[in-house]
Each structure stands twice: as C-alpha cells, then as structure tokens.
Structure 1
Amino acid sequence: MSDVSIKAGRTAPPEAGAPPQGGLSSTLILALGTFAVGTDAFVVAGFLPSMAEDLHVSAATAGQSVTVFAASYALLSPVLATVLARLPRRSLLVGALFVLGLANLLSALAPTMAVLIVSRVLAAAGAAAYTPNAGAVSASLVRPELRARALAVVIGGLTVATALGVPLGSAASHWLGWRAALGTVAGLCLLVAVVLRLVMPQLPGNVRVPLRTRLAVLRRPAVLAVLPLTILGMGASYTAYAYSVPALEAVAIPEKAVLWMLFLYGLGAVVGNLGAGYGTDRWGSARVLTAGYLAMVLSLGVLAWLAWTETSAQPLVGLLVLLWGASSWCQTPPQQHRLIAVAPQEAPLVVSLNSSSIYLGIGLGTVIGGATLGAGAAAVYGLGAAIAAVALLFLLLTQRTAAPAHQG
C-alpha cells in the first residue's frame, strides 16, 4: 500500500511498495536537518568560556548545559519514540525542527544560567524526536537499491556536524558572539523545517510499541555487555572535549590556533568513523575497538603529560588531537555492528539505544570533566585516559558475553 496521501486532481497512486516521489530531494533536506541537530548538540563546547563569562558562571558550570542536553536526549529519545509513534512523519519531523529552532532562540536570548538550562532540555526534546526518525524516513523515501545511500547521506549530516560543531562554535563565537552563533543554529533549524514541509511527501505514523517492550531488550546479557562500553568510551572522550578550549590552551596552544586544533579533531572524527566501518568489515568489531581505546589512552595520556610538564610542542599536540578525534568516533560503527549481531530482530531498537548511550556518555564525561577542571587540564586529560583504559578492560572482559549466540 502506498505511503502517499492522494488528493483530488492528482495522478494515480504509485504501485504497491513504490517509494513516494521526491525521495532524493527530501533526503538531502533531512541530511541538512541532521546537520543542524548535530551542530546544536556539539557547538556549545566551542564557546563555553565566552558563555560562562557572559552568564557570570564558571566554565565548569556552563559546561553543565552540555550535560543537560545529552542526558535529556538520552532519556527522552525512547519516551518520545513511544508517545509520538502514530504522528504522521512529516508533521513529526517539521514539528521537531521547529521545537529545536525555538529552543535555540531561547538559548541565544537566555539572561541567566537557569533559563539556558531549560532551553537546552527543550532543544534535546526536539533533537531526540528528529534524529532517529530522519534515518528511518529517508530509507522509505527511495527505491530499495538506494536505501543504504540515503541512510549514509542523512547520517552524513550528523557526522559532518560532529566533526565541525565545536570548531564552528569557536569560530562563530569569535566572529559573532555565542548568542549570535546559537541564533544562527536556530535560523537553520527553522529554515530546514519550512523547506521540509514544502518538499517532503506525507507519510503515515507507525504502530505504537509500548515503552516496556522497547526496553525489554535491555534484559539480555549480550546487549548489556555492549551498551555500557559506548557510555564509557564517549565519557572518556568528553571528559576533556567538552572543555576543549581551556584544555588546549593548557598545552601551550595560543587562542588563535585553538580553532585549527578543533578542526584537526573533526578531521580525525571523520577519518576514524569511515575507517572504523571498513575495519569492522575486514578485521572485526573487537579489534577496531581495541585499537581505538589504545589510541585514546595514548593521545589523552600524552596530552596530560604535556599539560603537567607545561611543555610546548604544537605539532605533537596537533597529531594527538587528530588521534583523539579518530579514537573517539571510531566507536560507533563497531558498536552498532555488535548490537545488531546480538539482537538482529531488534536492530532499529538497539541502534536507537546506542544513540542514547552516546549521549549518556557525553553527559557523564562533561560532569566528570567539569568536576575535575579546577584541578587543572592535566587532571582532566589524565582522567579521560583512565576512563578509556577502563573501557578497554570492559571490552576485553565482556567479549565472550557479547558474542552472537551462533558463535557459541
């Protein structure tokens, strides 16, 4: 049965199973939406110092806006997926982007830290409603042989935002101020919402799956052996990354060069993500993750040593930041691969839970980094390296439990 609503005066509906018209153009707009969502999630870390100064709070306190967004996204994602299941997809996606845009506008105008926190919770709700559904909708809008490419395009928007969010935030804060930077994100969200409303065909909602059913998969030992690793790995990275501007200045990177270091992190994130996908197919998830956590321990550990000894070595720092970015974002492809292998019948659900775990890890890392920031950047980097070592140990101890049943 066609997903397209037929109105009087239009041509006959497409054949059964055929995708709606305009699928490719809608997919590109959906990708722009995931870019806006991802930028909103990661941009704040790029201007924490100026935000903290403007709101008369410490950098650690301002960093809790990242924690609140991440934790709210993680908790709201399964709830909103249940509550909004029956809503038509176009209405859901457009509404989510409007909520995100208005929330960013409120963030840009926030006079106090309390108002900023409320606006970040609202932004997380919009992001949690948009991102999981954008990928699913993109696959339904194109022919079967184009679905993988459609998914890659939509998720590509998020990957680019992951790579560029913090450096864009730092640059926008330097040139425009942090309030104008968030206002720009708000404008992008609202613009994409309008365009999506104009070009995307109408699609029906889904069958509502009770929240208890969605979370039942968490009772499986194999799933529980995989998901905590995502939290640990992202927590290790974000212990320092959420405070990357002051942390980089502590390893003798001048303010004018911080932006370029953040771009190196973003480049590493893209290379790490793409390389991990290839490496997982060729060598397996466990080997890719092991290499990633070893690289994270090495990069953060050496950065901790440089900060502690107050050594100036900018080329080395650039290489370490590149490695740090690659090790941080090489986790997602192998982790998703592992989850799908242990729960193939619930693949969309466990991938969604992995996304929630990513944001829980970001929130955890931001809290730990904020609590440690007063002790100096060496402590922040060192704690990140220690958590990465714990992640590696957890991986080694749970490999047998996380193996697919057919592997014994």
Structure 2
Amino acid sequence: MSNVLIDRDAERATAGGLTSTLVLALGTFAVGTDAFIVAGFLPSMARTLHVSVGAAGQSVTVFAVAYAVLAPVLATATARLPRRALLVGALLVLGVANLASALAPDLPLLIASRVLAAAGAAVYTPGAGAVSAALVRPEKRARALAVVVGGLTVATAIGVPLGDLAGHWFGWRTALGLVAALSLVAAVGVCWIMPSLPGGPRVPLRARLALLRRPAVASVLPLTVLGMGASYTVYAYSVPALRGVGVPDGSMVLMLFLYGAGAVAGNLVAGYATDRWGPVRVLSGGYLAMAVSLAALGLVAATGVRSATAAGALVLLWGASTWTQTPPQQHRLIAAAPQEAPLAVSLNASSIYVGIGAGTALGGATLGTGPTVMYALAAGTAALAWVLLYWTTWGTSDESRP
C-alpha cells in the first residue's frame, strides 16, 4: 500500500512538475539570499568585527569551500532519506546557522556558523535540482532547472538589495536574522506542498566520485568553476568595485538590483534557449557577454570616464551572463549521466561554490590593487571559460560547437 501511495504522489508531482518546482525555488531563494547577501554589507560587517574587508570576505570563501566539499559527502550520507524530509531538514539547518551568524561576536564564530550554513545549502540546492528534473518530461528539463536556479537569481535581484537596505537601516545582524526567518518559512512551504518522494539507493562515495572520470562530465565541471570564479572575483567585493566605476553609495542598492534583475532574466532565458538551441550555444554567448561586460567595466575604472547609465547597463549584462550558465551546465551533466542525475547536479553545485570561493579569494588578494585589476582578471577568466568550452566541444557535432 505504501508503494502505491508513493507512486500516486510521484504521478501527481510529474503532472504538475513545473508548478511544483516553484515551491523548490522558494528554498533556493533562501539559500541564495544567504549565500549572496554578505556582498551588500561586507564593509559594515568588517567594521563591527574589527577586521579588514578582505578578512571579512573570507567568510564567503569558507562558505563556498565548505559547500564544495560537503555536497558530495552529504549526498552520499543522505541518499536513502525521503526527499521531502531531506529538503525540509536542510532548510532548518540553514535557518539555525543564520541565526548563529547573526549572533556571532567575532570572526571565528561567524566562520564556524557559515560552515554549518554551507552544510544546509549543500544538501538543499542539489537535492532540489535533482527533484525538479525528475518531476518533468525530458523536453522541459532545462526549464524546470531554470525555475529552481531562479530562486538563487531572484535572491540576487531582491534578497541581496533588501539585505543591503536592512543592513544599512538595522545592521547586518538583523539582515542575517531575517534570512534565518526566511529559511524557516521556506521549510514550512516545502513540507506543506511537496509530495512524498522516496530516496535513492545508497552508493559509496568512492563510486559516486568515479563519475568524475567520465570525459563527458570532466569536461563540463571546470567550466562551472571558471564561470562563477570570473563573476565572483568582483561580485564578492561589489561595493568597492562599483565605487571604482563612479557608482555613489546612494546608488549601490540600485546597481545590486540591476545585477540581480539581469541574473533572473539570464537564467530564465537560458532555460528556454537550452531546450530550443542546445546548451553549448547558450554557454558560448553567456561567457562572451560576461567577458565583454567585465572588460568594459574595467575600462571605465581605468579611464575615469563615468556614465551611470552605461554602468547600469554593464552591470545588468554582467548579472545576466553569470547566471546564463547554470541551466545549460546542469542539462549537460544530466544528459551525460542520466542514471546519476542527483550526483551530477551535486557535483555541479560543488563546482559553483568552488568557483565562488576561488573568485572571492582572488578578488580579496587583489582588492588593494584597485578595481581595474579586479575587472581585468575577471574578464580574462570569463574569456578562458569560453576558450575551454570551444576546445572541449569542437568537432563533436554541429549542434555542440559554440
């Protein structure tokens, strides 16, 4: 009888797959707000904790590295758990961790709480992505993935600017407390609406990581690292970087909103475009757009020619190109390993945060050299991602070439 009930739940979920993924997107919105909100109030956090901006920025790096390491480990440990219970539990951990971050009296305790938050995020995001791919027909898979990733991108559009305002008006601790509350609300939503879906078979971590030896997988993941690393070399330090192109503090929230609006649009367009034209063409355009937008911002910083309209347009393109890459990358991985989709998605999620951590570390190391160098390094990394895409797909088929 229980198997019959599970089958009926799965049938109902599949019938309304894209609608069901909106619930999952609420959780990724909470995860995204948590992961990205720090960029908006990093200077004030540094002042409160009596550390440099670069040192405070390492809380982002630690979150990213912990996420990257924990995602495959926790995917193995939690493989057999029912999906709804797993996702709700991950959001509860995220909420508790953000409350601890809000109350942290110093940088070491803040970093410890960020590791706990990374554990919750590392379970939730790939789990939500894999469930969304299973809820829809194959021809709608990229769109379903785009909806779930859309929670992350909406967080950059709405959550991060609102967090910046909350941090400005009430302090960064209150902003993190609001993220904790958002995580709990998302947990209630997932528990209430999501169908009961079973877990999968338990596969040893060594067997899971063997997936990395497949050429089709090994050629995809470095692109995710490079693409996210390019963007986060600047984005983690977006406040000083945008000041370097003439953006006043009073317009910083608007610029963060423009980045996020571009991220939302880029992600959604990428989902539909990937289903229609294939992932490689979408990735090619995204990496080129990212390289151009970051190089142009670097040129503005170097020449001192200021234009608020031009800066806003470039930030919009930067955000769109950053988040154009995730749906096609996930689509490529699931196509390469359809029987191991949850693991493939978790490896991509790890790669996202490896890129975020590496980019944040690179940006922090070059923060003292000025924004021109940061933008130049970011643009060069995006261009390298395009070259690697071109090299790894050239000659495979006409549909696969950039």
TM-score, structure 1 as length reference: 0.87
Alpha carbons of structure 1 residues 346 and 92: separation in structure 2 relative to 1, 3 Å: closer
Q: For 2:143 and 2:394, how far apart are their aligned partners in 1?
A: 33
Shift of 1:54: 0.9
Q: Distance in 1 between matches of 2:226 and 2:25?
A: 28
Partner residue of 1:192 out of 177, 180, 186: 186
Alignment check: 8 A CA contact 1:4 1:203 kept? no
Q: Offset at 1:159?
A: 3.2
In 1, Cα distance between equivalents of 2:143 and 2:287: 29
| Corresponding residue for residue 365 of structure 2 | 371
Aligned to 1:169: 163
Determine which structure has more spread, i.e. the larger CA radius of gyration. 1
Q: Distance in 2 between matches of 1:113 and 1:100?
A: 19
CA distance, structure 1, for counterparts of residue 9 and residue 263 of structure 2: 41
Question: Identity over aligned residues, as a percent?
Answer: 67
Residue pair 1:19, 1:143 contacting (<8 A) in 2 also: no
Q: Deviations over 1:66-90 (max 9, x none)?
A: 1111111111111111111223333
State the Cα distance separating 1:116 from its structure 2 match.
0.7
Structure-to-structure mapping, 1:169-248, within 5 angstroms = 169-198=163-192, 200=194, 202-248=196-242
Question: Is the deviation greater in 288-297 or in 243-252?
Answer: 288-297
User: Where in structure 2 are the equivalents of 1:252-401 lying within 5 Å?
Assistant: 252-400=246-394
| Cα distance in structure 2, aligned partners of 1:148 and 1:283 | 11
Q: Tell me, in whole angstroms, the C-alpha distance in 2 between the residues paired with 1:286 and 1:139.
A: 19
**Matched residues in 1 for 2:375 and 2:10: separation?**
52
1:47 and 2:47 correspond: no
How many residues were matched structurally? 399
Cα separation, 1, equivalents of 2:311 and 2:160 = 17
Which amino acid is 1:180 matched to?
T
Give how far 1:255 is off. 0.5
Distance 2:327 2:136 in 1: 23
The root-mean-square deviation of aligned C-alpha atoms, in Å, is 3.1
Closer/same/farther in 2, CA of residues 86 and 305 from structure 1, 3 Å limit: same
Write the deviation string for residues 41-94 of structure 1: whole angstroms up to 9, x where unpaired. 111111111111111111111111111111111111111111112233333222
Could you list the per-position Cα deviations for residues 305-344 of structure 1 after superposition, in whole angstroms to 9, with x for gaps in the alignment?
2112222211111111111111111111222233334334
Per the alignment, in what secondary structure is the counterpart of residue 199 of structure 2? coil
Work out the CA distance in 2 between the residues paired with 1:149 and 1:223. Answer: 21
State the one-letter code of the partner of 2:52: S
Change (3 A) 1:28 1:384: closer
Does the CA-based 8 Å contact 1:93-1:129 persist in structure 2?
yes
The answer (yes or no) to whether the contact 1:339–1:347 under 8 Å persists in 2 is yes
Kindly state the Cα deviation for residue 272 of structure 1 after the two structures are TM-superposed: 1.5
- Cα distance 1:58–1:277, how it changes in 2: closer, same or farther (>3 A)? same
Measure, in 2, the Cα distance between the counterparts of 1:391 and 1:140.
Answer: 29
Structure 1 residue 196: Cα displacement = 4.1
> What letter is aligned with 2:233?
T
Take 2:280 and 2:25, find their aligned partners in 1: how far apart are those partners?
A: 30
Question: Is this contact kept in 1: 2:95–2:184, CA < 8 A?
Answer: yes
- Does the alignment pair 1:92 with 2:86? yes
Q: Deviations over 1:148-171 (max 9, x none)?
A: 887665443233224334323222
Please say which of residues 46-55 and 24-33 is displaced more in the overlay. Answer: 24-33
The TM-score normalised by the length of structure 2 is: 0.89
Amino acid at match of 2:120: G
Q: Structure 1 residues 134 and 220 mapped into 2: Cα distance closer, same or farther (>3 Å)?
A: closer
Greater displacement, 39-48 / 344-353: 344-353
Q: Distance in 2 between matches of 1:86 and 1:251?
A: 50
- Which has the larger share of helix? 2
Distance in 2, matches of 1:287 and 1:26, equals 28
Q: Distance in 2 between matches of 1:15 and 1:338?
A: 30
Name the CA shift for 1:179/1:4 in 2 (closer, same or farther; >3 Å): farther
Alignment partners' CA distance in 1, 2:23 and 2:328: 27
Q: Residue 199 and residue 3 in structure 1: after superposition, are their counterparts in 2 closer, same or farther (change >3 A)?
A: farther
**Aligned partner of residue 279 in structure 1, secondary structure:** helix
1: CA distance between counterparts of 2:330 and 2:9? 31
Give the corresponding residue for 1:114.
108
Aligned residue number for residue 72 of structure 2: 78
Relative to 1, partners in 2 of residues 1:145 and 1:305: Cα closer, same or farther, differing over 3 Å? closer
- TM-superposed deviation, 1:193: 2.7
Q: Is the 8 A contact 1:261 1:321 kept in 2?
A: yes
